[in-house]
């Protein structure tokens, strides 16, 4: 299926400027990164976004990544995989109904798993160079590389909506779920600048069937608020990655970009994760991170982050410093 999606993506890329004269945008981002974990990474992301007809939009996204180093690490994996060659990330069409309709949108194709704070723009290029612990595939929770092949429907009003996804896994990255139908339900409401959501996922585990039996099921809450250039957000989830195990964890971020800071954005994160399983597989850990993102010139930005952790994470040392440089460009047709 991925091969067909890739072929369709290339076809649409070629036609991007001529689809019914509607607006089409092409974005590309090139990133390089270095970490004191003796790991270097490079990645490219490209996407095409546009309207096919009024109300009907499409999005195609592909990514390539490569990483040096001899051990696993979650560095640079905020929203995209840094291994596995060229991969299709998202490829979907989405129809938006008139605002007064009860059904707000229907999406079909390949898209990010709609659990919690899941949009790529919420994690990529923000300034953090590592994903939250609950979103790195090897920590028995969810993965920033989880993708669905399916249908996603949003119903309700803008200030209180429910999103339901029915699909099969199409994951990229380290955690690839086994085949099988899965469901995600997410409800979100807002009051002023506060947005709160609750999510539930019932899916297949990413670990082998001979050792991870049963289903993976998680519930979670997320919230975000922003005002005066300060964004506070966080997620908490709990559930079972497979029979006989539980995972709980979450993170809280503060992202500050006030006018006096010019091109600089400051970020801090505190997070924890507990995976309860038979010894020696159990994992109890926490991590604290701080980072700055500096916009150097137009689409060129650099991020520097320091993280300190306790527990048996893939990070090889308790403290790591990561540096990333990204150039992003966009062209609207």
Strands (E), the chain: 24-35, 39-53, 56-67, 87-96, 103-112, 147-157, 160-169, 182-191, 194-203, 216-227, 230-240, 246-256, 264-276, 283-297, 300-310, 319-332
Among 238, 295, 321, 325, binds other proteins (CB under 8 A): 295
Are the beta carbons of 311 and 288 closer than 8 angstroms? no
In the complex, the smallest distance separating the C-beta of residue 120 from other proteins, rounded to whole angstroms, is 9
In the shown chain, the binding pattern of residues 239 to 258 toward other proteins, with x for contact by CB under 8 A and - for none, equals ------------------x-
82/125 with CB nearer other proteins:
125
Q: Which of residues 86-115 bind other proteins (CB under 8 A)?
A: 94, 96, 99, 104
Mapped onto helix, strand or coil, the DSSP state of residue 138 is helix
* C-alpha count within 13 angstroms, C-beta hemisphere, residue 28: 5
Q: How many residues bind other proteins (CB under 8 A)?
A: 40
89/301 with CB nearer other proteins:
301
Q: Which of residues 147-206 bind other proteins (CB under 8 A)?
A: 157-159, 161, 188, 190, 192-195
CA dist 177 and 199 (Å) reads: 19
DSSP 9: H
CA dist 302 and 326 (Å) reads: 6
In the complex, the smallest distance separating the C-beta of residue 333 from other proteins, rounded to whole angstroms, is 10
Among 83, 122, 138, 202, binds other proteins (CB under 8 A): 122
Chain centroid to CA 259: 28
Shortest CA distance to 51 belongs to which of 101, 98, 16, 103? 16
Tokens of 121: 């723009």
Of 236-244, 245-253, 272-280, 295-303, the segment contacting other proteins by CB under 8 A is 295-303
299 contacts other proteins (rule: CB under 8 A): yes
317 contacts other proteins (rule: CB under 8 A): no
85/228 with CB nearer other proteins:
228
228 contacts other proteins (rule: CB under 8 A): yes
Q: What are the Cα distances from residue 201, in Å, to 138, 164, 183, 238?
A: 18, 10, 6, 11
Contact footprint for other proteins (CB under 8 A):
23, 25, 27, 49-50, 57, 94, 96, 99, 104, 119, 121-122, 125, 157-159, 161, 188, 190, 192-195, 224-229, 231, 257, 259, 265, 295, 299, 301, 328, 330, 332
């Amino acid at each position: 299926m991925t091969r067909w999606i890739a072929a369709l993506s290339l076809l649409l890329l070629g036609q991007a400027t001529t689809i019914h004269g509607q607006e089409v945008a092409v974005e590309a981002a090139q990133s390089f990164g270095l970490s004191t974990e003796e790991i270097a990474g490079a990645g490219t992301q490209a996407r095409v976004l546009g309207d096919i007809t009024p109300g009907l939009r499409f999005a195609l996204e592909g990514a390539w990544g490569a990483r040096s180093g001899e051990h696993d690490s979650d560095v640079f994996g905020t929203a995209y995989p840094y291994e596995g060659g060229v991969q299709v990330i998202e490829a979907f069409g989405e129809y938006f109904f008139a605002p007064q309709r009860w059904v707000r949108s229907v999406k079909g194709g390949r898209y990010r798993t709609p659990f919690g704070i899941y949009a790529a723009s919420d994690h990529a290029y923000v300034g953090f160079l590592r994903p939250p612990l609950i979103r790195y595939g090897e920590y028995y929770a969810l993965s920033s590389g989880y993708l669905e092949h399916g249908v996603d429907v949003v119903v309700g009003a803008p200030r209180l909506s429910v999103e339901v996804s029915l699909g099969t896994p199409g994951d990229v990255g380290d955690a690839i779920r086994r085949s099988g139908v899965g469901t995600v339900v997410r409800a979100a409401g807002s009051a002023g600048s506060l947005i709160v959501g609750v999510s539930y996922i019932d899916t297949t585990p990413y670990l082998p069937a001979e050792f991870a039996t049963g289903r993976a099921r998680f519930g979670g809450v997320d919230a975000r608020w922003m005002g005066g250039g300060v964004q506070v957000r966080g997620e908490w989830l709990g559930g079972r990655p497979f029979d006989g195990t539980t995972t709980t964890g979450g993170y809280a971020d503060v992202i500050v970009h006030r006018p006096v800071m010019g091109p600089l954005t400051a970020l801090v994160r505190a997070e924890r994760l507990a995976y309860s399983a038979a010894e020696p597989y159990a994992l109890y850990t926490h991590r604290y991170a701080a980072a700055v993102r500096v916009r150097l010139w137009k689409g060129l930005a650099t991020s520097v982050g320091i993280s300190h952790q306790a527990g048996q994470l893939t990070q090889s040392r308790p403290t790591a410093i990561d540096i990333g440089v990204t150039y992003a460009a966009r062209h609207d047709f």
